[in-house]
Amino acid sequence: MVFFAILILAVGGLAWIRFAPSDPAVWNVDPMVTADQDLASGVRRRIDAEEGRFVRLNGIILATPRTELLAGGPEAGRATYVTRSLWMGFPDYTTVQQSEDQLEIFARQRFGTSDMGVNRKRVDGWLQALRAAEG
């Protein structure tokens, strides 16, 4: 009986992780990036906001598997994306905001205390792809 109770709790917890609602009012907020930072739970980056760069970066982000736009977009000056892990569906949130001549990028996890560098790797990959596309 105890085994089944633990099993039900585990399955319920995994279901919550995968299907918990993502409130744009909580996640689509000013990233407040003042410098590049590697954090235990995410990453912050700043890059020059050259003409059309937000739109190009948006395309790269949306081409990422298991990634969707949660709120906003380049035309709004701020966009927040949700990228889910392959097996467990853990959500990571990335907000991109144009602030004058800079694009501020803040990627962070929702659950846990460490993302094991996943957000840093993802964001740095996007920025590498952006630089390559701009040639």
Tokens 């994306």 correspond to 81
Residue 9 lies in a domain: no
Q: Determine the pLDDT at residue 13.
A: 65
Residue 18 lies in a domain: no
DSSP 40-68: TTEEEEEEE--TTHHHHHHHHHHTSTTEE
Residue 4 lies in a domain: no
Could you tell me the CATH number of the domain that includes residue 112? 3.30.310
Q: How confident is the model at residue 57 (pLDDT cuts 50, 70, 90)?
A: very high
Instruction: Calculate ∠ Cα 35-131-73, nearest 5°.
Output: 70
Share of the chain above pLDDT 90, in %: 76
* Domain count of the fold of the chain: 1
Q: Determine the pLDDT at residue 5.
A: 77
How many residues belong to the chain? 135
Q: Residue 47, Cα to own-chain centre: how many angstroms?
A: 16
Q: Determine the pLDDT at residue 106.
A: 98
Q: How confident is the model at residue 12 (pLDDT cuts 50, 70, 90)?
A: low
Range of the domain at 93: 23-134
Residue 104 lies in a domain: yes
Residue 15 lies in a domain: no
Residue 66 lies in a domain: yes
Residue 12 lies in a domain: no
Residue 13 lies in a domain: no
- The 10s digit of each residue's pLDDT in 78-101 is 999 999 998 888 999 999 999 989
Tokens 């990453």 correspond to 43
